[in-house]
Structure 1
Amino acid sequence: MSTISGQRSAAAATLPVAPESNGPSFSITANLLRLFKHIKYENLAAGLSGGVISTMVLHPLDLVKIRFAVSDGLSFRPHYNGILHCMKSIWKVDGIRGLYQGVTPNIWGTGASWGFYFLFYNAIKAYIQESRQSELSAVEHLVSAAEAGILTLCLTNPVWVTKTRLVLQYNAEPDGKQYKGMLDALVKIYRHEGIPGLYRGFLPGLVGTSHAALQFMTYEGLKREQNRYKEMPSEALLSPLEYITMAAISKIFAVATTYPYQVVRARLQDQHSNYSGIVDVIRRTWRNEGMEGFYKGMVPNLVRVIPACCITFLVYENVSRLLLGQYN
């Protein structure tokens, strides 16, 4: 972080000097304008495309992952013996519609998240690299990805709360299903719980930005090393198989490192649970389920996120280059 701050301070020093009374505000405005100059909406469109396509294909596995993550013994929750048993049980009761329960906010959330993430990430990278010939270091990629993740989470957290609530509706609930759809859920959550309800799980979500940061740092490093091995420019277009392989490796590394935060966030967002906060979730999960409780749903999560990540990154790399006129 200190390296990046130093680079920004050095770059800011080349800007015209404002009157002393307006110095700090002028510097902030000038730096924001410089950052916005690097915004490319083609990255937003490419990330959105990748997120939507991967979600449409793999949403049922996301539903399974969340149901396993919140499996804490409540009587009205269905009990599943594995991924296939869970999917068969849902299909038997609700058909294909049941497997796509919560898909609308998932499409909005995943599409918007990947779109904004790639938009902010590439803008921050370009901002840091302005007037530099050298490539960004692994730490600079890590920090750029973390900053992009925080900005994206601020915009999308209400959608993720809505998605979690819809996915965790069961036919056996005493009062029936609470929500009719995404808009109905957003309105009811806001009406009954206010803004804090829409931002449940935000703090563990902030912790989760480390997941994407580690993933992007690893992915960028693998791309750079592969191009170096092939004696090509660092941003040269690679083959689909190379993108898929690097996306899979980076995702496995990030999931294995940070998965427990997803369990904590899902349990905080679950309408059936009554936790007082992050510490309460961690304490009760540890007491009742041990370390295993923090990794519930990890297998279906890996089964889902690895192909989802591969699809998203492959679509993004190709669509962004096509829109930016870099596709050869």
Structure 2
Amino acid sequence: MTSMSSQRQTVAATIPVTSDRADTGYSITDNLRRLLSHIQYENLAAGLCGGVISTMVLHPLDLVKIRFAVSDGVQIRPQYEGVVHCMRSIWQVEGLRGLYQGVTPNIWGAGASWGLYFLFYNAIKAYTQEGRQAELSAAEHLVSAAEAGVLTLCLTNPVWVTKTRLVLQYSTDPDRKQYKGMLDALVKIYQHEGLPGLYRGFLPGLVGTSHAALQFMTYEGLKRDYNKYKNMPSEALLTPWEYIAMAAISKFFAVATTYPYQVVRARLQDQHNTYNGLNDCICRTWSNEGAAGFYKGMVPNLVRVIPACCITFLVYENVSRLLLGQYK
């Protein structure tokens, strides 16, 4: 661990530092080198651990949320009266395996997304902070989180398409199921729909980067203000319950603000329906279901994402500090 830190310091020492992120004295290559000098793979490992653990615990609720989100009242598919009825129905027909349908790409996607997100976010944040004593503003946290979200989405969108397709296989007859697993789904989607098929829902996904940006901005602001209130350093280690409370508040705010994009994204990725693009999906949802259509599945989503976020952030904060040697 010590050698990794020393290597980073050596690399960083060879790269010029400026207090102005947009300094025209540096080329794009120089700025990229400066950004890369802030990469800490401990953040990748910690984020991956948090994402995988929370996904393994709460995947059934994610499956329920997606099935409600695509229930447009037009397509012939199973109908559910609520979260409990949906989970009971799946359990009765398909057992535990049915509740964990699509868990493999979800674990890959959540682990990779959280790992990459924390990796990029912390690197961009440190790059923005270079040469400055003052803490980053809320707007700078927002921009850093949004940039990290775009980079992460570009790398992980195919995994999310695969997960959506797998959790929307309703038949219990293996011979009638379109996909046999994650790899089979990736190959078939690429064979039949090409690269655009793997990037279905990418545009609403880009909109969705605002979700994580708002969440991280709120989370960082809560930590900063709380530590100021307690006269502690801004990056001081908090108790597990304090991390959980801040993660829950920030997640609820982000979900309430941006949930409709998740419905649109899931519908665009649904193999049982076809839309002529983003505008067609939005117009048809509004026409058939009104404003309520954009909030379908929000309750099971909140039941899932708030505990998932709390678990992810709690694991991340503690694992990253352990790997970075910041525990005292």
TM range (shorter): over 0.9
**Counterparts of 1:327 and 1:159, CA distance in 2:** 34
1:177 Cα deviation from its structure 2 partner: 1.1
Residue of structure 1 in register with 2:232 after alignment: 232
Could you give the per-residue CA deviations for residues 185-204 of structure 1, whole angstroms, max 9, x where no partner exists? Answer: 00000000000000000000
Residue of structure 1 in register with 2:283 after alignment: 283
Could you give the per-residue CA deviations for residues 43-77 of structure 1, whole angstroms, max 9, x where no partner exists? Answer: 00000000000000000000000000000124531
Computed over aligned residues only, the root mean square deviation of the Cα atoms, in angstroms, reads: 1.4
**Counterparts of 1:277 and 1:270, CA distance in 2:** 13
Residue of structure 2 in register with 1:178 after alignment: 178
The question of whether the paired residues in 2 share the 8 Å contact of 1:161 and 1:198 is answered with yes
Residue of structure 2 in register with 1:51 after alignment: 51
1:172 Cα deviation from its structure 2 partner: 7.3
Aligned amino acid, residue 91 of structure 2 = W
**Counterparts of 1:75 and 1:201, CA distance in 2:** 19
Task: Determine whether 1:90 maps to 2:90.
Answer: yes
**Counterparts of 1:73 and 1:190, CA distance in 2:** 29
Residue of structure 2 in register with 1:246 after alignment: 246
| SS of the residue 1:178 aligns to | coil
Structure 1: give runs of 5+ residues left out of the alignment: 1-5, 16-26
Aligned amino acid, residue 292 of structure 1 = A
Aligned amino acid, residue 278 of structure 1 = L
Residue of structure 1 in register with 2:20 after alignment: 7
The question of whether the paired residues in 1 share the 8 Å contact of 2:94 and 2:172 is answered with no
Could you give the per-residue CA deviations for residues 280-316 of structure 1, whole angstroms, max 9, x where no partner exists? Answer: 0010000000000000000000000000000000000
Residue of structure 2 in register with 1:71 after alignment: 71
Could you give the per-residue CA deviations for residues 76-113 of structure 1, whole angstroms, max 9, x where no partner exists? Answer: 31000000000000000100000000000000000000
Distance 1:301 1:276, change over 3 A: same
The question of whether the paired residues in 2 share the 8 Å contact of 1:228 and 1:234 is answered with yes
**Counterparts of 1:176 and 1:257, CA distance in 2:** 38
Structure 2 length normalisation: TM-score? 0.93
Residue of structure 2 in register with 1:21 after alignment: none
Task: Determine whether 1:38 maps to 2:38.
Answer: yes
1:143 Cα deviation from its structure 2 partner: 0.1
Identity rate of aligned residues, in percent? 82
**Counterparts of 1:119 and 1:320, CA distance in 2:** 11
1:7 Cα deviation from its structure 2 partner: 3.0
Task: Determine whether 1:165 maps to 2:165.
Answer: yes
Structure 2: give runs of 5+ residues left out of the alignment: 1-18
Residue of structure 2 in register with 1:189 after alignment: 189
Could you give the per-residue CA deviations for residues 168-220 of structure 1, whole angstroms, max 9, x where no partner exists? Answer: 001179x8210000000000000000000000000000000000000000000
Residue of structure 1 in register with 2:201 after alignment: 201
Q: How does 1:115-154 map to 2 (within 5 A)?
A: 115-154=115-154
Q: How does 1:268-307 map to 2 (within 5 A)?
A: 268-307=268-307
Residue of structure 2 in register with 1:262 after alignment: 262
Structure 1 length normalisation: TM-score? 0.93
**Counterparts of 2:322 and 2:99, CA distance in 1:** 34
How many aligned residue pairs are there? 310
**Counterparts of 1:272 and 1:183, CA distance in 2:** 20
**Counterparts of 1:89 and 1:109, CA distance in 2:** 26
**Counterparts of 2:75 and 2:59, CA distance in 1:** 25
**Counterparts of 1:260 and 1:7, CA distance in 2:** 37
**Counterparts of 2:35 and 2:214, CA distance in 1:** 23
Residue of structure 1 in register with 2:219 after alignment: 219
Task: Determine whether 1:322 maps to 2:322.
Answer: yes
Could you give the per-residue CA deviations for residues 104-153 of structure 1, whole angstroms, max 9, x where no partner exists? Answer: 00000000000000000000000000111000000000000000000000
Aligned amino acid, residue 66 of structure 1 = I
**Counterparts of 1:41 and 1:145, CA distance in 2:** 17
1:271 Cα deviation from its structure 2 partner: 0.3
The question of whether the paired residues in 2 share the 8 Å contact of 1:77 and 1:172 is answered with no
**Counterparts of 1:181 and 1:74, CA distance in 2:** 27
Aligned amino acid, residue 8 of structure 1 = R
The question of whether the paired residues in 1 share the 8 Å contact of 2:93 and 2:172 is answered with no
The question of whether the paired residues in 1 share the 8 Å contact of 2:75 and 2:272 is answered with no
